[in-house]
Amino acid sequence: MITIVVNNKQVFQVVFYYHTGQFMNIKDTVAVVTGGASGLGEAVVREIIAKGGSVTIADLNEDAGNKLAAELGDRAIFHKTDVCSEEQVASMLNACVNAFGKVTAALSFAGIAIAMKTLGKNGPHPLEQYQKVIDINLVGTFNVSRLASEAMQNNTANDDGELGVIINTASVAAFDGQKGQPAYAASKAGVAGLTLPMARDLASYGVRVNTIAPGLFLTPMLSSLPEEAQEALSKQPLFPQRLGKPEEIAKLACFMIECAYLNAEVVRLDGGIRLP
């Protein structure tokens, strides 16, 4: 309680109430992370484990997933998962519940990117390639979100009535997509556009929904570029002029898990970049 005093007279008192919600602390979090065996997803997995939480790593890369789970110990398991498959996602969520008793956070980092113009020298953009990107990045994200929200209904609500949180991944390409990005930009714009209506849908069920829109991050894909190419890309953000670090995405994801009042937001994490 704070007492406000003016000219030696008590004007009013302000009382602050604090409570600790069951899922507001990362150490109480049981998360599923798609695309969790490498890149941004791996960084998120490591951050949650480091803060005391438990994670089910969902990925198609069995070798990388099993290796990471073995390294991280008893609070991490791996489950091979195609995010576009209802059966495989349901199986992954069940594995998480069987291992850790519940699912309180679902974070989608599985995704692919292609560079292909709407019309190029070899003709129009192949439709099957466009559909593949939309299926994995957008439909797969929705598939994980819808099934995870159902699994969260078995949790015990905290003081806010919260049962869980969903965190999806868009991209700055959703807002300023470049040449050759019609499929990727459309898929990520779809994820960004999904955020508010999904948050509205799930509010009465005690589930929050937020989305991260990363800029240029030093993932395995960018790390494979020549040094001069990486240097050129690092000059595009306003400040700091460098590529983002995967652990910075992980810190934002953990903040989104813990901050109960953050809901229905798409947050750019990009150093102020606007793609030319």
For residue 240, cis peptide bond before it (omega within 30 degrees of 0): yes
Q: Are 191 and 134 in contact (CB under 8 A)?
A: no
Q: Is 173 helix (H, G, I), strand (E, B) or coil?
A: helix
What per-residue string of b and e applies to 89-107 under the rule 16 or more CB within 10 Å gives b?
bbebbebbeebbebbbbbb
CA–CA separation, 79 and 101 (whole Å): 16
Rg (CA), the chain: 20
Catalytic residue check, 205: no
CA–CA separation, 58 and 106 (whole Å): 10
Q: Which of 17, 184, 205, 261 is catalytic?
A: 184
Active site residues: 184
